[in-house]
Amino acid sequence: MMRKKLPFASHINRAQFVLQALRAGARLARTVQQEHLGPAAAKSDRSPVTVADYAVQAVVGGMLEASFPGEQLIAEEDSQALHAGPPAMASMVAEYVLRYLPAAPLEEIWRWIDLGRGSAEQAYWVLDPVDGTKGFLRDDHYVVALAWIEAGQVVLGGLGCPRLAAPGASAESPGSVVLAVRGEGAWITGLEADAWQRLSVSQEVRPQKARLLRSFEAGHTDEGLMDELVRRLGCEAPPVRMDSQAKYARLALGEGELLFRLLSPTRTDYCEKAWDQAAGSIVVEEAGGRVSDLRGEPLDFGRGRELTANVGVLASNGRLHAAALRALDALGANRRP
């Protein structure tokens, strides 16, 4: 059944805001991708960042301040890194932001980006303006991810997915928005128009039939261990490689059963970032799935920018969670070396 109206009874104002912000952010990122796939800059951790990352963060930060003044935001980017990058980048960022929020003074644009330096108070927002930047650069999957946290738990989260179609969508309008409110389900609608459909995970219980989802980037996972997991679980199909939290949306759509975020052998100290997991995790849980770390511990979003209490992530359709945890334990994949 499709619904025209937002399908939630609580947190209506925040859900409405997240929908608007994700639509604005996803459209802006898509426009940048179509018009200007300029060179990416490298941040101090050598990960790539583009005009779209900064422009989307400025627009969503500005919208957030207008709708919920004074609330805390934790977001991936900051203006210092922008100004340390190629000089042309800052002016391109301003140009794209001005299309959405005309007449904004330049200093305001940089300040909106830096709203993302907020602190993890009792309640706060978490934003990844472009999750899967490497996918964005490859013209592949990426998402805009926004979530609202209360007392260390995600209460509301959404993914703006320009490259992921809602079921039954026409080929001309492939993008979607996925939105979840704690206790009220996960829902998908078109990026442009409202036609809400409820999401539920696959009912598969056989590990050999499990469809695995993994990072596209080899450097974000452990490829050898992934192969061993496939063998141990007896999965018949090879893992699907996909960038960004679009993987969580796929799981919630029932188009996959297991999602592993394993520690890369070159970065065994890596801590998952709050903005890479918050929105995706509530989407999977509210579709009936389960999300934990690789040891089965719940993800702790009370610690600010990084999930320092957790090791990696396992998301599943719920029914295959225990089998996946056993396989991880048997392979020693749930411990830092």
Would you name the residues annotated as active-site residues? 53, 133
Measured distance between the N- and C-terminal CA atoms of the chain, rounded to whole angstroms: 48
Least distance from C-beta 142 to ligand AMP, angstroms? 8
DSSP structural state of residue 266: T
Q: State the minimum distance, in angstroms, from the CB of residue 142 to Mg ion.
A: 9
Of 150, 194, 217, 255, the residue at the interface with ligand AMP (CB under 6 A) is 217
Comparison of 10 and 47: residue with beta carbon closer to ligand AMP: 47
Between 87-100 and 12-35, two packed helices, what is the crossing angle to 10 degrees?
130
Does the protein bind Mg ion through residue 222 (CB under 5 A)? no
C-alpha distances out from residue 146 to 124, 160, 193, 207, 219, Å: 11, 9, 19, 32, 25
Please report whether residue 264 would count as binding ligand AMP according to CB under 6 A: yes
The residues facing 190 across adjacent strands are 176
Considering only the stretches 119-127, 169-177, 212-220, 229-237, report the one whose residues sit in contact with ligand AMP under the rule CB under 6 A: 212-220
CA gap 177, 161 in Å, rounded: 6
Tell me which of 25, 132, 158, 289 binds ligand AMP, using CB under 6 A: 132
Q: Which is nearer to Mg ion, 246 or 327 (CB)?
A: 246
The residue type at 256: G
Residue matched to tokens 């696959």: 202
For the bound state, the minimum distance from the C-beta of residue 111 to ligand AMP, rounded and expressed in Å, comes to: 24
Q: Least distance (Å) from ligand AMP to the CB of residue 293? A: 13
Q: How many residues does the chain have?
A: 337
Among the listed residues 117, 209, 232, 273, the single contact to ligand AMP using CB under 6 A: 273
Using the rule CB under 6 A, give the single segment among 30-38, 163-171, 214-222, 284-292 that binds ligand AMP: 214-222
Cβ 206 to Mg ion shortest distance, Å: 32
Which of residues 4, 138, 267, 335 is near ligand AMP by CB under 6 A? 267
What is the smallest separation between the CB atom of 244 and ligand AMP, expressed in angstroms?
A: 5
Residue 105 to residues 52, 98, 111, 116, Cα–Cα distance (Å)? 19, 9, 10, 18
In the stretch 127-146, what mask flags binding to Mg ion with x, by CB under 5 A?
-x--x---------------
> Which stretches within the chain are classed as H helix?
12-35, 51-67, 79-84, 87-100, 106-114, 133-137, 223-233, 246-252, 274-286, 321-330
In the list 131, 204, 222, 286, the residue contacting ligand AMP (rule: CB under 6 A) is 131
Three-state DSSP string of 31-75: HHHHHCCCCCEECCCCCEECHHHHHHHHHHHHHHHHHCCCCCEEE
Comparison of 3 and 267: residue with beta carbon closer to ligand AMP: 267
Backbone φ/ψ region at 185: left (φ over 0), alpha (ψ -120 to 50), beta: left
- Residue 215 binds what, of Mg ion, ligand AMP, none (CB under 5 to 8 Å, by partner type)? ligand AMP
DSSP one-letter code for 273? B
**Which of 272, 276, 285, 286 forms a contact with Mg ion (CB under 5 A)?**
276
Residue 47 engages ligand AMP in binding (rule: CB under 6 A): yes
Report how far residue 304's alpha carbon sits from residue 255's, in angstroms, rounded to the nearest whole number. Answer: 31
The answer to whether the beta carbons of residues 256 and 213 sit under 8 Å apart is: yes
The yes or no reply on residue 317 touching ligand AMP (CB under 6 A) is: no
Q: Which residues bind ligand AMP (CB under 6 A)?
A: 47, 131-132, 215, 217, 219-220, 243-244, 264, 267, 270, 273, 276
Q: Which residues bind Mg ion (CB under 5 A)?
A: 128, 131, 276
